[in-house]
Structure formats: structure tokens, C-alpha cells
Amino acid sequence: MYVYKTSGVCSKEIRFEIEDDIIKSVEFVGGCPGNLLGIKTLVEGKKVDDVLKKFKGIPCGNRSTSCPDQFSKALELYKSKKSKQSA
């Protein structure tokens, strides 16, 4: 289980599991329950890179980031750590 502390959004953290570059589960702590359940439903079973590309840079209202954008940052960090481990 990976845990990412968010910044600039209502959600406080994102917990997720990845297996063979497929998102197996994701849970947002805090935030808008309906929207975050929708995100969870959309991303589970998807490839990390596909979700990262679609979610990166999405704003929320007048904020420069959003829960989907924060999840893309979490996935980038996951990929960075994974590549360092395999090097």
C-alpha cells in the first residue's frame, strides 16, 4: 500500500495499491465522497501511465490542482521510486 499526502485539495491523503503497473485499489481520505468514489471506480484496473496522462494538470475551481491531479503526482512519485529500485 502506498500513501501520498496531498497538497492544495480537500482530500488529505491518497492510499493506493499497484500490481504489474495496474492500479488495484485507491482510497482518498477526506474530500467530496461522490466525486472520489467516481475517480476510484474509473481508475481501478487501469494502467498507471494511462491514468497519469489523463489526470495530470486538472484544476479544481480556482485552484491549480485537484484530487485527480494529486493522484497523478502520487503516481509519478510511485514510478520514480520504482525506477530507482530497479536500477
pLDDT digits (tens, 9 = 90+) for 31-73: 999 999 999 999 999 999 999 999 999 999 999 999 999 999 9
Cβ partners under 8 Å of residue 27, min gap 6: 14, 15, 16, 40
CA distance 73 to 78: 9
Measured CA to CA, the distance from residue 39 to residue 20 in angstroms comes to: 20
Query: How many whole angstroms separate alpha carbon 78 and alpha carbon 61?
Result: 27
Range of the structural domain that residue 78 is part of: 2-86
pTM of the predicted model as reported, rounded to 2 decimal places: 0.93
Total number of domains in the chain: 1
Paired strand residues for 5: 13
Average pLDDT over residues 21-30: 97
Burial of 86 (0-12, 13-18, 19+ CB in 10 A): exposed
Residue 42 to residue 26: CA distance in whole angstroms? 10
CATH code where residue 8 lies:
3.30.390
